[in-house]
């Protein structure tokens, strides 16, 4: 698999990443092992997890699998901290919480360091300087090799990166930002993506298949074994089942027919090769599903198909993004 640099850093990662959101919850150890081995054998390196996935279970499972199944040195392990499973508070960017969370992640992962440590969300109640100083401490101590963020808005990303550049005693720079990005969700193109491009920060899209909708599985009905049929996850899928989404999914299906590939291939290739994108993060319930995503490696969309998909999925941006002077 092709390797790409994460932003303006020396860290190289596979241009498709493996997500572990369902590990130790919907994906058991056997299926997770099959996925990890399949990913590694295909040349994949970037494995993304978080301390709150299955309440730490995903990290623990990944740690078990790197003990004997896949060499730790062959993986770029990315994890996150800052989200809190507490009804009273959803995030905690304090130095106390972050560094304690990192130590707990390392113990579950069975490793001395993570390759990429990401702030899982922006904490409006903790001074940003305190949060970023904790990140710098983690990198300076060797517990994290690179740092990134997830679900930061454009101004939050720019503020964090600018503060790091301006602070004389801070050496750590943001390497990546993880955000939802797909043909059904192009919101990051408004501010986040331009900021990341300008700052040299690599983008790691999550939900690159539009929460599964871009595979075409929901075109005619909701499969009984899908997220859309799950009582817990149906609200997660529902926003992408409207008429606007249907037109995009139909266009993807037409493009797939013309290229003799699947809608999954078209949707994933589109986001993988967007400017600023380093590696979309894909999740799968089975190794078979993962193989389908990994087989996109040889596909590059023809310019005319890419432009057609750009047009049919174009988000509506007016003031102050463009054409505002004529409104």
Tell which residue, 16, 18, 22, has the closest CA to residue 4.
Answer: 16
| Omega before 301 within 30 of 0, i.e. cis | no
Q: Are 228 and 235 in contact (CB under 8 A)?
A: no
How far apart are the two ends of the chain, measured CA to CA in Å?
Answer: 47
Range list of β-strands (E), the chain: 3-5, 12-14, 17-19, 46-48, 76-81, 83-86, 89-91, 114-119, 144-150, 174-180, 202-206, 281-282
Is 319 tagged catalytic? no
Of 53, 60, 146, 218, the active-site residue reads 53
Q: Taking the CA atoms of 89, 91, 95 and 99 in sequence, report the sign of the dihedral they define.
A: positive
As a whole number of angstroms, the distance between CA 156 and CA 146 comes to 19
Question: What is each CA distance from 171 to 51, 132, 133, 139, 146, in whole angstroms?
Answer: 25, 10, 10, 9, 11
Among candidates 97, 115, 93, 95, which has minimal Cα distance to 106? 115
Hey, which residues are catalytic here?
53
């Amino acid at each position: 698999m092709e390797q790409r640099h994460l932003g303006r850093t020396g860290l190289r990662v596979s241009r498709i990443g493996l997500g572990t959101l369902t590990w130790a919850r919907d994906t058991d150890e056997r299926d997770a092992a099959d996925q990890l081995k399949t990913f590694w054998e295909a040349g994949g390196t970037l494995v993304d997890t978080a301390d709150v996935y299955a309440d730490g279970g995903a990290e623990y499972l990944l740690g078990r699998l790197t003990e004997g199944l896949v060499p730790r040195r062959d993986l770029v392990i990315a994890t996150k901290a800052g989200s809190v499973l507490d009804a009273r508070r959803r995030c905690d960017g304090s130095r106390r919480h972050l560094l304690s969370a990192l130590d707990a992640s390392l113990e579950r992962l069975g490793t001395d360091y993570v390759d990429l440590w990401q702030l899982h969300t922006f904490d409006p109640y903790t001074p940003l300087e305190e949060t970023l100083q904790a990140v710098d401490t983690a990198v300076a101590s060797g517990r994290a090799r690179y740092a990134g963020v997830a679900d930061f808005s454009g101004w939050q990303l720019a503020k964090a990166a600018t503060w790091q550049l301006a602070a004389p005693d801070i050496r750590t720079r943001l390497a990546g930002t993880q955000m939802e990005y797909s043909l059904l969700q192009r919101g990051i193109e408004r501010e986040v993506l331009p900021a990341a491009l300008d700052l040299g920060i690599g983008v790691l899209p999550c939900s690159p298949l539009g929460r599964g909708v871009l595979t075409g599985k929901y075109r005619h009905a909701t499969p009984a074994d899908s997220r859309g049929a799950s009582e817990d996850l149906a609200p997660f899928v529902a926003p992408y089942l409207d008429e606007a989404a249907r037109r995009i999914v139909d266009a993807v299906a037409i493009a797939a027919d013309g290229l003799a590939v699947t809608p999954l291939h078209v949707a994933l290739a589109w986001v993988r090769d967007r400017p600023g994108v380093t590696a979309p993060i894909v999740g799968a319930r089975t190794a078979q599903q993962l193989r389908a995503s990994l087989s996109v490696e040889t596909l590059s969309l023809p310019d005319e198909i890419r432009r057609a998909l750009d047009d049919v999925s174009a988000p509506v941006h007016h003031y102050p993004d463009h054409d505002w002077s004529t409104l």
